Structure 1
């Protein structure tokens, strides 16, 4: 299994998140903390999510990315950009309705040299469950297909 990592950089008002390998639930606490950090700054001109080296990405991560886009539009009126060069990842993003909440670009763009890996964060099972719930509720709000796909999962988590 190729473990994944998320790298982050800020350069000249552009925040870059680069996802490498298999991006799973274990990285979501670090991603969510970084999203909070981005919106605490509020002094940026662009947000770029680089998925050119992503092999797979789970639904919780996708939900947090949707949260990033929604916050970006609400707080600064900015539509983030997702860069993907893999047809499977592009299809997944489109099926989730990401073409409505992101600019999706299919050509690599230069990344800053100063990317650093997000540190892992230990979270309690309860905190992780709340992040999973939040992420899937956000995905459900994007379109009817997502609502159908994640309804049972959200209901089960809410009952726990």
Structure 2
């Protein structure tokens, strides 16, 4: 289980996401839903992802962040900023291709930024599966290395999702 969490704040169209501790897939369902809402807004002027207090981040969370960066570029023509002071986290983010969609800065700002923890909603298996699958598909779009690394996982998750959809259609 995750021992970390995501905090969020917004001011005048700038969105701030602060990832604290060990942030894993379970912590990003609410983040993924929030990104969908932000994508629909017309007044988005910037986004900052603060990883300065992140001790671990898994590939699903990186995929959700990649999705944020890609959507901001495509929909709002905005280059998001990622703050990281942990060399391991920075290396991981760069190796997954996030440097293509974020400006990654080594900066340690004020830890008392006014963010609030995103509250995790009831997590269903299907919601988790969809988020994990979408996050890894997004990572695969960033570079060939990710494509090769995550293709088997994505195929397996897609197969599981297809099976769940068939079962739910049979129950209708």
TM band (smaller chain) = over 0.9
The Cα RMSD (Å) is 1.6
Map Cα deviations across residues 70-119 of structure 1 (whole Å, 9 max, x no partner): 11011110010000000000100111011111100011234674211101
**Change in 2 beyond 3 A, CA 1:87/1:113:** closer
Looking at structure 2, the residues matched to 150 and 42 of structure 1 have their Cα atoms a distance apart, in angstroms, of 33
Q: How many residues align?
A: 160
Contact residue 11 and residue 112 of structure 1 kept, 8 A: no
Instruction: Tell me the equivalent position of 1:139.
Output: 139
**Change in 2 beyond 3 A, CA 1:51/1:137:** same
Q: Which has the larger radius of gyration?
A: 2
Contact residue 2 and residue 26 of structure 2 kept, 8 A: no
- The answer for unaligned runs of 5 or more in structure 1 is none
Instruction: Tell me the equivalent position of 1:46.
Output: 46
Q: TM-score when scaled to structure 2?
A: 0.87
Other structure's SS at 1:119 match:
coil
Name which of structure 1's ranges 100-109 and 14-23 shifts more when overlaid on structure 2. Answer: 100-109
Contact residue 2 and residue 24 of structure 2 kept, 8 A: no
Q: TM-score when scaled to structure 1?
A: 0.93
Looking at structure 2, the residues matched to 37 and 2 of structure 1 have their Cα atoms a distance apart, in angstroms, of 24
The Cα of 1:159 is off from its aligned counterpart by 1.8
